[in-house]
Amino acid sequence: MMKRSLILETGDVFTGLAFGSEKESAGEVVFTTGMTGYQETLSDPSYCGQIVTMTYPLIGNYGINRDDFESIEPAIKGMVVRELADMPSNFRSDASLNELFLLKEIPGIQGVDTRKLTRIIREYGSVKGYFTEAGVEVNVEEIVAKLKQTTFPTDQVKQVSTKRPYPSPGRGKRVVLVDFGMKHGILRELNKRNCDVVVVPYNTTAEEIMAIYPDGIMLSNGPGDPKDVPEAINMLKEIIGKIPVFGICLGHQLFALASGGDTFKLKFGHRGANHPVKDLKTGRTELTSQNHGYTVDPESLVKTRLEVTHVALNDGTVEGLKHLDLPAFTVQYHPEASPGPEDSNHLFDQFIELMNTHVKGEKNHA
């Protein structure tokens, strides 16, 4: 088995055994703390352009199945694991993690100290990394210098968003789901509630959305910096107030920007399936699934009509917003889970109720 090295811009080098594709790869190195859910993680479009470090030591033990993908084509640049299971054991397993990575041409590395790597990321923040074959011909200093000068693309949303609108029919409320890098779990939750969903690209205009005559608009999760998606911010400025809005993750950040707020990059982000979030209205704490590198600046909300509804108990960052005057609310975490706890699944019912109330309100007003 070929040896592989992960070289960081800090100068640190991790050498282990290669799995998956033999190609070299560069990306932003991040970590996620989920004990399970590696299939959902590797197929989450929000990880576009990133090399994902799994902090749980054994990965791949229950294999890969046909049901747990969150997108058809994974967008990660690679994966780092402590120990890879060669022979998965689960009644749903159709393939091993290594077989999937070979099929999708994704490189991985196993047999490295993921605890040490995680500590480096926590100290320096998310860092640039490069996968290469281990060997005497590798010039580490040269690669480190190139990494420091490298600027990764900022069009991740464009890369993972659908190129054309498509329907997911139902007989309930019509929801336009704007795909910034949508996890399929969001669509599944809307389908469960019989919504008549139309999925549209990230750069769909407000006029085009209103021409679909929706009862509500759902803003999906997605990768990267929300400020790199000005098309969506402009669209939302025209949409907010006309129809109910529910935003998740990147959609939450875009909603804040469109409403006059601001965002900033976290040092190493929130990624995992065990993040506690407090509902400020009920006082209830829910465990949530999260995957984001940016957050809403609470100080920027003072001059807006937005109210903070949820906060992260680990660091106090903003985890939920609602508009004080208009039918719109958002959360930073993933109520559809996949992977993770389903404590916050009720927010989809809240969205349905908001659409029902808004329609009733319009009819009564008329």
The number of beta carbons lying within 10 Å of the beta carbon of residue 148 is 11
- 28, 249, 286, 323: the catalytic one is 249
For residue range 317-331, list pLDDT tens digits in order: 999 999 999 999 999
Question: Which residues make Cβ contacts (< 8 Å) with residue 184, sequence separation at least 6?
Answer: 69, 70, 71, 338
Torsion angle defined by CA atoms of residues 76, 78, 79 and 85, in that order, rounded to the nearest 10 degrees: 110
Of 252, 270, 275, 334, which is the active-site residue? 334
Label residue 209 exposed, middle or buried (CB < 10 Å: 0-12, 13-18, 19+): buried
Domain final position from 93, 117, 152: 152
- Catalytic site residue 336? yes
pLDDT tens column, 283-342: 999 999 999 999 999 999 999 999 999 999 999 999 999 999 999 999 999 999 999 999
Share of the chain above pLDDT 70, in %: 98
Q: What share of the chain is helix, strand, coil (3-state, %, to 5)?
A: 30, 30, 40
Q: First-to-last CA distance in the chain?
A: 71
Q: Residue 48 sits in which domain range?
A: 3-152
Active-site annotation holder among 28, 40, 70, 336: 336
138 shares its domain with 186: no
Please say which residue of 152, 176, 208 terminates a domain: 152
Specify whether 195 is catalytic.
Answer: no
How far out from the chain centre does Cα 364 lie? 39
Q: Which of 90, 120, 152 is the last residue of a domain?
A: 152
Same domain, 84 and 189: no
Closest CA to 293 of 124, 47, 103, 6: 47
Residues 46 and 113 placed together within one structural domain of the fold: yes
pLDDT at 359: 67
CATH at 66: 3.50.30.20
Rounded Cα–Cα distance for residues 12 and 16 (Å): 13
Q: What is the CATH number of the domain that holds 333?
A: 3.40.50.880
pLDDT tens figures, 221-251: 999 999 999 999 999 999 999 999 999 999 9
